[in-house]
Structures are given as C-alpha cells and as structure tokens.
Structure 1
Amino acid sequence: MFISDAFAEQAPAAAASPPGFESMFFVLALFVVFYFMMIRPQMKRQKEHRKMVSEIKAGDEVVVAGGLAGRVVRVTEQFLAVEIANGVEVKVQKQAVGQLLPKGTLNTL
C-alpha cells in the first residue's frame, strides 16, 4: 500500500573473461609466490650443502647432524671417519655433515 514494488533491471552482459579465470589466476599467483619464497631458497641450500660435502677432506673439522663435532681422518666415496676424541673414531655418512667448522675450533674446546 505505502511501499511500491521494485523490479530489478536485467543485468548487463557478462564481462569478456571466461568464467573461473579469476580463480585460475589466483592459483597461478599463489604458486609463483610459493616458488620464490619456499622452493627456490630450499634448492639453493641443497646446492650449497652438496658443494660443501664434496669439498670435505682429511683434516677438516665438522659437526655431524647428530651434534658430534670432530676432525675428519679419512674420506671415502660415501663415508667419513671422524675423530671425536683421541683414538675414538666414528664412521658417518657424508650427507650427515651439517656444518664445516673453521680450522682450530676444536682446539678451543
């Protein structure tokens, strides 16, 4: 009675972009962000670790992933013999080396 009826006009034609294009663009943008924030830095760290492991030689001081620190005595294809105390050697995989220490670090311990 006091309120008049409202009728909606017909909506204009849809935009030129295909349906779902916005969501596909969002997924692509998300993948690019993940690549530059997570995947690329991880690949760089792996490359640096492989280079460090390949350059280990007898006499280097290393820290193994388990926390053992010692001096490399022998190097083979897959393993290292690490002296952790006088006359005590452990055999570890090369990939288990977490850090290469500067020369003389173990003498201060």
Structure 2
Amino acid sequence: MYSIVLQAQAQPQGWFQPQLLVFAGIIIVFYFFMIRPQQKKAKDQKKFIDEIKKGDYIVTIGGAHGYIAEIDSETFILEVEKGGRIKFNRSAISLEATKAANAKK
C-alpha cells in the first residue's frame, strides 16, 4: 500500500502544469467578458458626452429629464418643464437612460 503512494509522489511536474493553464484561462475569460466590455462602454459614454449640443434631450444619472439650454466645457444647464433650469456637470449625463428615453419618443 505504501509503495503506491510513494510512486505517485515521485513523478516530477513540468513548467506547464495544468493549474497554470487553468489560471491563464481564467485571466483570459475575465479580460474578454469583463474588462474589455467595460472599457468599450466607458469609451462610448465619453464619446456621447463630448457630442452633446444645445437642444439635445438628455436624462441625468439622478433621473432629471430635459433639454440642454447652455453648455460649457465641464458643465451644462438643463432646462426642465416650465422654464426651470438646473446646472449639472457633464459627467451626470446617463447614456443608457437617454437612449431609452429617446427611443420612447
């Protein structure tokens, strides 16, 4: 019985162990399914924010709906119902909510 255990332990392992290949596979899966799509989403969000102009209908992250009345380099003024105006940072624009709101129109 002890000879079988000793024989099993005596086998040397090479550099490319199966555990190393599994670990590399997990890293590749994380990159293609989590990191890369997140980078693409951030790039699309930045492009959308850079392309907005006066008169565009947007939705903020906080849920405020309205039209762009004025726009500066870092801020914009959102015109809501009945002439109300609110100043926001450009980073407050929600890409997904704006697309969904524009699709309903």
- Structures share fold, TM-score greater than 0.5: yes
Q: Does 1:58 align with 2:73?
A: no
Q: How far 1:67 sits from its partner (Å)?
A: 0.5
- Which amino acid in structure 2 is aligned with residue 8 of structure 1? S
Question: Size of the alignment, in residue pairs?
Answer: 99
Q: Larger deviation: 67-76 or 93-102? A: 93-102
For 1:10-89, what aligned pairs fall within 5 Å after superposition?
A: 11=7, 14=11, 17-18=14-15, 21-89=17-85
2:3 — aligned with what? 8
Percent of matched pairs sharing the same residue: 27
1:3 — aligned with what? none
User: Larger Rg: 1 or 2?
Assistant: 1
2:2 and 2:81 mapped to 1: Cα distance? 89
Q: Greater helix percent: which structure?
A: 2
TM-score, with length taken from structure 2: 0.79
Unaligned runs of 5+ in 1: 1-5
RMSD of the alignment, in Å?
Answer: 2.6
Q: How far 1:87 sits from its partner (Å)?
A: 2.0
Q: How far 1:7 sits from its partner (Å)?
A: 6.6
Q: How far 1:46 sits from its partner (Å)?
A: 0.4
- Which amino acid in structure 1 is aligned with residue 102 of structure 2? P
What do the CA deviations read for 1:41-67 (whole angstroms, capped 9, x no partner)?
Answer: 000100100000000000000000000
TM-score, with length taken from structure 1: 0.77
1:7 and 1:31 mapped to 2: Cα distance? 39
Q: Greater strand percent: which structure?
A: 1
